[in-house]
């Protein structure tokens, strides 16, 4: 039987690249997202590389939906060996510019979502005495980013949640690790650039944040997820791995 990986946010960007990469590694991938059309495209890409995936349209902020989709995955695909929380949203705003709605939405998707998926999945991992949870956080969880107040708070919270899960469950065979990407060229960044007054200048500024003057690729994050989730990553636990092209070194 192939191992099972659950990947959230799999309809786009880093989540899509992670689903395809883990499928190539030999996992059966259960892909979760709100965006059904995007999931269908990821499924096509998984099948193109000869992999196996299953798609589930779900709002990860809904506790009942997360519980029921997790039970469905356990029955139809198998108990998860790996859970990768990738789904996320952002709002460009200082504290003073952040509405109650935006604050709640960013915290709900970026922090409550991983809490809900972990709470639903952990018992299945504990039953078998092994499992790896990878949380895609951000450099914004480690340093302050301009006009990203709710986003930075949510990602710092996710790093804290990661460490707490590792501390509580390491002796039961569970590892939990956060990955903190720098700027990665995805659909998300594409939308930010498209809405900028000068998209070319905005692109240059985003690329310049990394020491080598380019944005990362979704595959460069997926490769790290694959390493952490796999047997070579077995000594990595309860930490935040920075994959940012040196963005936070300066
Ligand atoms: N792109 C970057 O530069 C960058 C940098 C650091 C961290 N990250 C993190 O990586 C993750 C993925 O980012 P991306 O750039 O690939 O974004 P993306 O917008 O391309 O993909 C995010 C996915 O999450 C899904 N999603 C959002 N809310 C959801 C919900 N409530 N339920 C189910 N699915 C939901 C979206 O439908 C989308 O498919 C995010 O957590 C983001 O914070 C991205």
Domain that includes residue 49, residue range? 4-181+218-243
| Same structural domain, 67 and 189 | no
In a domain, 82, yes or no: yes
- Torsional sign, CA 186, 243, 220, 245: positive
pLDDT in tens, the chain (250 residues): 899 999 999 999 999 999 999 999 999 999 999 999 999 999 999 999 999 999 999 999 999 999 999 999 999 999 999 999 999 999 999 999 999 999 999 999 999 999 999 999 999 999 999 999 999 999 999 999 999 999 999 999 999 999 999 999 999 999 999 999 999 999 999 999 999 999 999 999 999 999 999 999 999 999 999 999 999 999 999 999 999 999 999 8
Please check whether residue 93 is in contact with residue 44, taking contact to mean a CB–CB distance below 8 angstroms.
Answer: no
Torsion of CA 111, 116, 118, 120, to 10 degrees: 180
Angle formed by the axes of helices 13-25 and 36-48, nearest 10°: 30
Ligand 1 centre distance from Cα of residue 50 (Å): 25
Confidence at residue 1, expressed as pLDDT on a 0 to 100 scale: 84
| Same structural domain, 16 and 62 | yes
Q: Is 180 in the pocket of ligand 1 (CB under 6 A)?
A: no
Ligand 1 centre distance from Cα of residue 234 (Å): 26
| Same structural domain, 203 and 234 | no
Ligand 1, pocket-test mutation among 188, 193, 216, 244, most atoms within 8 A of CB: 188
DSSP code for 30: E
Which bin fits 162, alpha (ψ -120 to 50), beta or left (φ > 0)? alpha
In a domain, 116, yes or no: yes
Confidence at residue 105, expressed as pLDDT on a 0 to 100 scale: 98
From atom 26 of ligand 1, which residue's Cα is the shortest distance away?
87
Please check whether residue 45 is in contact with residue 218, taking contact to mean a CB–CB distance below 8 angstroms.
Answer: no
| Same structural domain, 131 and 195 | no
| Same structural domain, 160 and 177 | yes
In a domain, 71, yes or no: yes
Ligand 1, pocket-test mutation among 88, 134, 178, 183, most atoms within 8 A of CB: 88
Ligand 1 centre distance from Cα of residue 69 (Å): 19
In a domain, 15, yes or no: yes
Rounded CA separation 215/211 (Å) = 10
CATH classification at residue 134: 3.40.50.720
The two three-digit tokens of residue 18, written as one number: 């992670």
In a domain, 11, yes or no: yes
Confidence at residue 183, expressed as pLDDT on a 0 to 100 scale: 97
| Same structural domain, 189 and 87 | no
| Same structural domain, 114 and 29 | yes
Catalytic choice (46, 98, 151, 152): 151
Q: Is 220 in the pocket of ligand 1 (CB under 6 A)?
A: no
| Same structural domain, 157 and 238 | yes
For the question of whether the overall pTM of this predicted structure is more than 0.85, the answer is yes
Q: Is 85 in the pocket of ligand 1 (CB under 6 A)?
A: no
Q: Is 114 in the pocket of ligand 1 (CB under 6 A)?
A: no
- The tally of domains found in the chain comes to 2
In a domain, 168, yes or no: yes
Q: Is 184 in the pocket of ligand 1 (CB under 6 A)?
A: yes
| Same structural domain, 93 and 65 | yes
| Same structural domain, 199 and 236 | no
Which bin fits 249, alpha (ψ -120 to 50), beta or left (φ > 0)? alpha
In a domain, 250, yes or no: no
Q: Is 34 in the pocket of ligand 1 (CB under 6 A)?
A: yes
Catalytic site includes residue 151: yes
| Same structural domain, 57 and 160 | yes
| Same structural domain, 157 and 168 | yes
In a domain, 249, yes or no: no
From atom 16 of ligand 1, which residue's Cα is the shortest distance away?
13
Confidence at residue 160, expressed as pLDDT on a 0 to 100 scale: 99
């Amino acid at each position: 039987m192939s191992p099972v990986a659950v990947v959230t946010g799999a309809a786009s960007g880093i989540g899509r690249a992670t689903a395809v990469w883990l499928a190539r590694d030999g996992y059966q991938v259960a892909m979760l997202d709100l965006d059904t059309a995007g999931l269908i495209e990821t499924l096509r890409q998984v099948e193109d590389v000869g992999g196996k995936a299953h798609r589930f349209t779900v709002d990860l902020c809904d506790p009942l939906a997360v519980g029921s989709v997790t039970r469905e995955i356990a029955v139809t695909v198998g108990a998860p060996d790996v859970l990768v929380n990738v789904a996320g949203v952002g709002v460009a705003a200082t504290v003073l510019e952040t509405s109650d709605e935006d604050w709640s939405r960013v915290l709900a998707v970026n922090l409550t979502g991983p809490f809900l998926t972990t709470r639903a999945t952990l018992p299945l991992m504990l039953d078998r005495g092994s499992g790896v949870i990878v949380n895609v956080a951000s450099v914004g969880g480690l340093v302050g980013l301009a006009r990203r107040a709710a986003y930075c708070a949510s990602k710092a919270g996710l790093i804290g949640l990661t460490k707490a899960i590792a501390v509580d469950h390491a002796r039961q065979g569970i590892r939990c690790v956060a990955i903190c990407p720098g700027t990665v060229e995805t659909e998300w960044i594409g939308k930010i650039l498209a809405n900028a007054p000068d998209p070319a200048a905005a692109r240059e500024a985003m690329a310049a944040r990394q020491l080598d003057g380019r944005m990362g690729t979704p595959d460069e994050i997926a490769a790290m997820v694959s390493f952490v989730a796999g047997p070579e990553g077995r000594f990595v636990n309860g930490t935040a791995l920075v994959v940012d092209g040196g963005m936070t070194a300066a």
